Structure 1
C-alpha cells in the first residue's frame, strides 16, 4: 500500500505524488481512493486503492533502472506491425502496463519510425504522450527538469 507523499508512476500519465487517501461511497459501497497529483499534466486523479496494482501503478524506478532505460533507447528497434491499427493497439497496450522498459521501447520505435516515414496524427499523439510520460520518470528520478529529460530521450534515440 502506498502512503501520502509517495512518488508513484501511473500508466499513460506519468509520475505523480499521493496527496491523500479518501473514503468515497460509490454504488452504495465505501472504498478508499488515492488522490494523486500528476504535476506534468496539471491534473489530479482518484484511483481505487484495491485496483492500483491491477492498473500498473507502481513506485518510481531507481536511478540504475533509469540508466538501463536510457541505454535501451539507443538499442536497435524491435519489429512493429506494418498495419497501423494493429501497431497502434500494440503500442497502447505496452504503455498501459506501466513498465518503464515497454514505454521506452514504444518511444524509441515510434521516434525512429517518424524519422524514416512521418507518423500519422494518432501515432504522433501517442509518441508525444509516451515521451512526456517517460520524461516525467527520468526527471523525477534524476532530479532534472522536464526539458533536460526530453533532451536525454532525443539524444539517446
Structure 2
C-alpha cells in the first residue's frame, strides 16, 4: 500500500486515522520509513514502520459495498452467545482483537440486542461503547458524514433490525 500525508485510513483498535508524517527513522541500526498517524476519536498519535502497516491491519476505509455488508451484519439475527458473561466477554474480545469490521459489527449487534433484554456487565458495556465508536468512526468516513450522523444511522439500522422502524428516523 502506498501512503501519503493527509491520507485517511483505518487502524484496528483505534478506528479512523490520518497520516500526518512520513519520515525516515533509524530502528535497531536500520533506517526505515515511518508513518505517523493521528487517531480521529482521541488525541492519540501512533508511529509505525511503513512496512509493518499491513501486518497490523492498517487498511483503506470501506466503500459503499462495505457499508452495506456492515448493515447486513447489523440486521442479521443476534448470534448464539454463552450465558456466562465471562465466556461471552472473551468471545467478543476475540472478535474485537481481529480488527475486522464485520466481526466488530457482530459485537455491536449482539451486545446491543442483549442489552435490551439483560443487564450487561461493566466490561461488556465498555466493549459495546468501544465497538460502536469504531463502527461510527468508519461509517462517518465512508458516508462522508459527521460522527453524530453516523451514530444516528447506526442506531437507525439497529432499531430497524429490532423491528422498531418508527424510531428509525434517519
The TM-score, its normalising length taken from structure 2, stands at 0.84
Q: Give 5+ residue unaligned stretches, structure 1.
A: none
Give matches, 1:2-151, under 5 Å: 2-4=2-4, 5-151=6-152
SS of alignment partner, residue 2 of structure 2: coil
Name the larger-Rg structure: 2
| The 10-residue stretch of structure 1 (31-40 or 129-138) with the greater mean CA deviation from structure 2 | 31-40
Cα deviation, residue 135, structure 1: 0.4
Task: Tell me the TM-score normalised to structure 1 length.
Answer: 0.90
- 1:129 offset after TM fit, Å? 0.8
CA positional deviation for 1:156: 1.4
Task: Check whether the contact 1:20–1:36 (CA below 8 A) recurs between aligned residues.
Answer: yes
Paired residues, number: 157
CA distance in structure 2 between the partners assigned to 1:68 and 1:49 by the alignment: 29
Change (3 A) 1:114 1:35: same
Using the alignment, how far apart are the partners of 1:53 and 1:80 within structure 2?
A: 31
Separation of aligned partners in 2, 1:9 and 1:114: 28
Cα deviation for residue 8 of structure 1 reads 1.0
Unmatched 5+ residue regions in structure 2?
Answer: 159-170
Q: Report 1 or 2 for greater relative contact order, CA contacts < 8 Å, sequence distance ≥ 6.
A: 1
Q: Aligned pair in 2 of structure 1 residues 25, 71: CA closer, same or farther (>3 Å)? A: same
Q: CA deviation at 1:29?
A: 4.0
- Cα deviation, 1:67-107, whole Å, max 9, x if unaligned, reads 22123212101112223233222222212222111111111
